[in-house]
Amino acid sequence: MLSPTVALTGIAGRKLEIPTGLFINNEFVPSLTGNTLETTNPATGELLATISSASPSDIDTAVSAAKTAFTIWRSTPGTKRRQLLLKLSDLIERDADEFATIEALDVGVIFAQSKGMNVANAIETLRYFAGWADKHDGKSMKIPGGMAYTQKEPIGVCAAIVPWNSPLMITIWKLAPCIAVGNVLVLKSAELTPLYGIKLAQLIKEAGFPPGVVNIITGLGKDAGQALAEHMDVRKLAFTGSGPVGRGILAASAKSNLKKVTLELGGKGASIVFDDADLENAAFWTTVGITAHNGQICAAGSRIYVQSGIYDRFIEAFKKNSLQAVAGDPLHNGSTKGPLASSVQKEKVLKCIENGVKEGVELLHGGKEIKRDGNFIENTAFVNVGENMSIMREEIFGPVASIANFTTEKEVLRLANDSEYGLSSAIFTSDVSRAQRVSDLLETGQVTVNTWGDVSSNAPFGGFKQSGFGRDMGEEALDGWTNIKVVKINT
């Protein structure tokens, strides 16, 4: 039985028809149990859609479809896989307004930001990995008594569990390299923001991917996510999300079939502003680094360290930038600040702010709920924050900056590295030698210099320490989706 559709009203009154079912074997079908979940508009609180919610039995069906498809897909020429990925990128580009509309309605991302960053990066990433589909080769070597060669082979049935904050972009970070090297995929979208995945599934079918190669389902983590993590026929699982869930996935892998796991588990990014930095540029990018998408970004620059010589001037510039935000409907041109993605997230962020105030940290500005429909919170900044304060150590995932000063390079390196996380950091300086020296000593998977949060499809992205392991994007990402076999020949 095919699933019904739901109508959405997007930018300029444009109508979108979205199926409500699970995408399995190139068909949209209801859950076998009849389970559903609701998704709401975070800007208004209004119900957007009621969609199917996968149970473990639905996971079994999706994995079975993928397993069957793999027998043929693994032998599909790389040129054909490249062609299909390029076709999918063209279709996403054609429907970019629809994807940006869905992210605005379902996630709360400002329409222009979604289209210009999230959707654009998804298109770029598909095209980048399409280029690898027929080029990911092994190497040959001489060995005593003969020769040997390696070949890189697909793993088989793979799974991905993606977060709610930048759903299309991060989905493509998993899907593109997975499919390019000949794997098949069962992808679970976040129950909070599922509609983009259904739209993507429509284009996967339109692009001509064979049934079962890509399956996209939505379900609760405790049901669908756990079933994927424990499934004996899933040989690889990629996850982006919280640390506790990532640890649970590792445990499930150990208890089941030792499936390969890659994890990206968030961060508490440090932005370091030295005395010799371009003050205007530093204030701009550090503001963007904690207010873009309301700080609901794993690479958010939530810890800002400013050298003493420019500390007071920086505070004023940062405050001016931060207070310019215009909160409103993410689909409206005048809005520069959308809502947080859910009421649960709003309450979590408000609680973190409350804890900071209780600890006696000086509040520079913000800190309150914006009185309007939806999940809106003021851009917030604390100053003179001690290194052991909760707001300086915990990932808040909201528009909350913790600012502190420092005197020496040695001191700020100690402060920046004193975190359980190690995902991304930023340096602002006009001294090239200092930029390289400090970059070398920062314990993070990415360092940006005189900018913040830059991501490119050909550059790897991932963390150190408790920010996880494995990489998205770049040639390095391919290693997480392949097995290496060596063949030795006695000559």
Q: Model confidence over 400-410: pLDDT tens digits?
A: 999 999 999 99
CB neighbour list of residue 381: distance below 8 Å, 6 or more residues apart:
290, 318, 319, 322, 363, 364, 365, 366, 400, 401, 402, 403
pTM of the model: 0.96
Q: What percent of the chain has pLDDT over 90?
A: 95
Judge whether residue 7 has pLDDT over 90. Answer: no
Task: Tell me what pLDDT residue 4 has.
Answer: 81
Judge whether residue 1 has pLDDT over 60. Answer: no
Judge whether residue 30 has pLDDT over 90. Answer: yes
Catalytic status, residue 178: no
**Domain positions in the chain:** 5-265+467-488, 270-456
Catalytic status, residue 158: no
- Can you name the residues that pair with 102 across neighbouring β-strands? none
Burial class (CB in 10 A: 0-12, 13-18, 19+), 314: buried
* Whole-number Å distance between alpha carbons of 452 and 469: 21
The CATH architecture to which 270-456 belongs is 3-Layer(aba) Sandwich (3.40)
Q: Of 124, 298, 352, 378, which one is the catalytic site residue?
A: 298
Q: What percent of the chain has pLDDT over 70?
A: 99
What are the φ/ψ torsions at residue 460 (nearest 5 degrees)?
Answer: -65, 150
Domain 5-265+467-488 class in CATH = alpha beta
Of the given ranges (4-18, 163-177, 327-341, 385-399), which has the lowest mean pLDDT? 4-18
Average per-residue pLDDT for the chain: 96
pLDDT tens digits, one per residue of 102-145: 999 999 999 999 999 999 999 999 999 999 999 999 999 999 99
Task: Tell me what pLDDT residue 2 has.
Answer: 55
Q: Of 124, 191, 230, 264, which one is the catalytic site residue?
A: 264
Judge whether residue 70 has pLDDT over 70. Answer: yes
